[in-house]
Amino acid sequence: MYNKKKERLYICDLLDNPAVPYPSYYVLSCAMHSNEMLQTALIALHSFDFSYYETAKSYEDIFAMFHSGTFPIYKEKYIVGYFGNKMMYLESNGWKGMPATEEIFKIENWLVC
């Protein structure tokens, strides 16, 4: 079976002096590596500049971001995407399925723009 090539997106390539230096890179597909919406969310997360984000007012705000191709931020720690009818969060080694814990249903844990 064909394995899609993955690339490392280094935070130092996006920001000169990140406020949050860890993780220092993310392993992404070529398409995600060049996705400007994802890069913007990563810059906000690693610079800790959430001026364009606000706490979600409802779950519709979160899913509106998913459907528009942008990425909400969960607990000011994770970029969240919606792929193949699955909610996933970004870790250093790639996208992981998001577990449905009680915390995920607390609207105050979500930042949207």
pTM score, whole prediction: 0.90
Query: In one letter, which amino acid is 82?
Result: Y
The answer to whether residue 85 is domain-embedded is: yes
Average pLDDT along the chain? 93
The band of 8, judged by pLDDT with boundaries at 50, 70 and 90, is very high
Q: Which domain holds residue 37?
A: 6-112
What is the per-residue DSSP string for 60-106? HHHHHHHHHT---EETTTEEEEEETTEEEEEETTEEEEPP--GGGG-
Predicted local distance difference test score (pLDDT) of residue 107: 96
The answer to whether residue 1 is domain-embedded is: no
- Phi and psi angles of residue 76, each rounded to the nearest 5 degrees, phi first: 55, 30
The answer to whether residue 89 is domain-embedded is: yes
Per the structure, how many domains does the chain have?
A: 1
Predicted local distance difference test score (pLDDT) of residue 2: 59
The band of 1, judged by pLDDT with boundaries at 50, 70 and 90, is low
Q: Looking at the predicted structure, is the pLDDT value of residue 51 above 80?
A: yes
